[in-house]
């Protein structure tokens, strides 16, 4: 099976589980995996989104199924793993894509510990739960690739929400440490750290004015906003044998923003003290 570029399929007959696969980066990853020959399990809490992505994949005569699951629920995750392993007998690739900044919390001292728990469950705990559920099958077969989706905010200071940043940084350290632990069992663990990418949670096309959008070439070194497919291609690399000698690393998929700078105090946005948008601070 070849993808649309004519190159050899990189995930031929692999079983790949993608959490949050109904939309955004997850959906782009699921579609790309399917084009490269994978049997894709799209896990999402939104059954409608997941079904639409499955329909997109099926229209190309590729293989995908949707499983509605709340990956914050340990029992639901265990049932997910049982159903996938019962159906396919194995899992070759796991993409822990679910994550959300939820809402602008204001200053740290004004946040409620219950909000920290929400951030923890959706950005870090689910990575633990889903990985624990599927990792034993990978170890047993001495083969597998785990790709976690962190954030550029896990690699730099994020004054808008230090708690979110802490959990995203924890994903990076979990990736690094687990990779060392399971490397001798044939399992690789890597991550990406996106920035400035259009997604369901971060719809830049809706947030920015025309004047702001015109500033992208001045602000992002690659000269444009990211799209989900940009992230999906790097995830495919980390999931495939192209990266067979790479483990424990986090790739900043940020268009160069991490290299160029970060957050700035804003004098033009009275509602927010900090900005990373493509406008003069």
Alpha-carbon separation of residue 48 from 21, 84, 268 (angstroms)? 11, 20, 39
pTM of the model: 0.91
Counting beta carbons within 10 angstroms of the beta carbon of residue 75, is it exposed (0 to 12), middle (13 to 18) or buried (19 or more)? exposed
The CATH topology of domain 15-275 is Rossmann fold (3.40.50)
pLDDT tens digits along 229-274: 999 999 999 999 999 999 999 999 999 888 887 666 666 667 777 7
| 158: annotated active-site residue | no
Q: Which residue has the higher pLDDT, 265 or 1?
A: 265
Highest mean pLDDT of the ranges 21-30, 151-160, 208-217: 21-30
pLDDT on residue 111:
94
Element (H, E) at 50: helix 47-58
**60: pLDDT strictly greater than 70:** yes
pLDDT tens digits along 15-29: 999 999 999 999 999
Cβ atoms within 10 Å of 152's Cβ, excluding its own? 24
**4: pLDDT strictly greater than 70:** no
Q: Which residue has the higher pLDDT, 217 or 4?
A: 217
Which of 64-68, 167-171, 245-249, 266-270 has the lowest average pLDDT? 266-270
Of 120, 158, 164, 204, which is the active-site residue?
164
pLDDT tens digits along 94-116: 999 999 987 887 899 999 999 99
Strands of 111-230 (E only): list them: 144-149, 187-192
Mean pLDDT score of the chain: 91
- The residue-averaged pLDDT of 36-43 equals 98
pLDDT on residue 99:
94
The answer to whether 197 and 25 have CB atoms below 8 angstroms apart is yes
**74: pLDDT strictly greater than 60:** yes
pLDDT bucket at 281, cuts 50 / 70 / 90: low
The answer to whether 38 and 16 have CB atoms below 8 angstroms apart is yes
Sorted by where each begins, the domain ranges of the chain are 15-275
Alpha-carbon separation of residue 189 from 53, 116, 149 (angstroms)? 26, 26, 11
* Beta bridge partners of residue 147, listed in sequence order: 95, 190
pLDDT on residue 2:
45
């Amino acid at each position: 099976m070849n993808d649309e570029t004519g190159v050899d399929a990189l995930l031929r007959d692999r079983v790949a589980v993608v959490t949050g696969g109904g939309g955004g980066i997850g959906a782009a990853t699921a579609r790309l995996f399917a084009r490269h020959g994978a049997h894709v399990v799209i896990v999402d809490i939104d059954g409608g989104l997941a079904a639409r992505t499955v329909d997109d994949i099926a229209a190309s005569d590729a293989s995908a199924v949707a499983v509605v699951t709340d990956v914050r629920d340990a029992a639901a995750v265990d049932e997910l793993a049982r159903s996938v392993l019962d159906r396919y007998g194995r899992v070759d690739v796991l993409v822990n894509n679910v994550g959300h900044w939820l809402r602008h919390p204001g200053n740290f001292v004004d946040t409620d510990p219950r909000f920290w728990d929400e951030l923890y469950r959706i950005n870090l705990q689910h990575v633990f739960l889903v990985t624990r559920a599927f990792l034993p099958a990978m170890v047993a077969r001495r083969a597998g690739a785990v790709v976690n989706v962190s954030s550029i905010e896990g690699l730099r200071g994020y004054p808008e929400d230090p708690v979110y940043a802490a959990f995203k940084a924890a994903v990076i350290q979990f990736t690094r440490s687990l990779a060392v632990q399971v490397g001798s069992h044939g399992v690789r663990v890597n991550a990406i750290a996106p920035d400035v990418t259009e997604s369901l949670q971060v719809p830049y096309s809706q947030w920015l004015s025309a004047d702001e959008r015109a500033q992208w070439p001045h602000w992002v070194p690659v000269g444009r906003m990211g799209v989900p497919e940009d992230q999906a291609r790097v995830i495919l690399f980390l999931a495939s044998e192209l990266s067979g000698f790479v483990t424990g690393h986090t790739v900043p998929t940020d268009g160069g923003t991490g290299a160029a700078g970060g957050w700035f105090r804003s004098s033009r946005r009275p509602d927010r003290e900090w900005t990373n948008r493509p406008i003069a601070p």
